[in-house]
Amino acid sequence: MSTPESAEKPVYVEGQSHLESLVSDNDVVVVDYYADWCGPCKMLEPTLEELAAETDAVVAKLDIDEHQQLAQSAGVRSVPTLEFYANGEAAERVVGVQEKSALESMVSQLSS
């Protein structure tokens, strides 16, 4: 069910309707709630770029400062927060820097 959005690079969320279409149009989506000033977010960035390139998951980056309302309505209290969606439904949430292998494992489980 891939769309042109499922590039091999992270996609930057432009607003609520963009986020909703990413989640509904793709099998597995990883939403990265981040902030430019967040050190751990910067540490996680190369891992998420690899995840986008090496898996079928769409990695969607959502700047919590630019989209405060979206982050607030999602209940994001700290960054980085990763929200995993499978087939349009929220499936898993993790907070903080994660190992690439753990993220790949989650994507693999949600893809099956």
- Residue 71's contacts (CB-CB under 8 Å, 6 or more residues apart) are 33, 62, 64
Q: What percent of the chain has pLDDT over 70?
A: 94
Q: Give the DSSP H/E element, type plus range, for residue 32.
A: strand 28-34
Q: What percent of the chain has pLDDT over 90?
A: 92
User: Domain limits of the chain?
Assistant: 11-95
Q: Is 66 helix (H, G, I), strand (E, B) or coil?
A: coil
Average pLDDT on 60-87 reads 97
Q: What is the tens place of the pLDDT at every residue in 28-52? A: 999 999 999 999 999 999 999 999 9
CB of 6 closer than 8 Å to CB of 27: no
Which residues are the active-site residues? 38, 41
- Residue 9's contacts (CB-CB under 8 Å, 6 or more residues apart) are 49, 52, 53
pTM exceeds 0.95, yes or no = no
| Both structure tokens of 102 | 């753990």
Give the fold, CATH level 3, of 11-95: Glutaredoxin (3.40.30)
Cα separation, 12 vs 51, in Å, equals: 15
Residue 3 has pLDDT above 50, yes or no: no
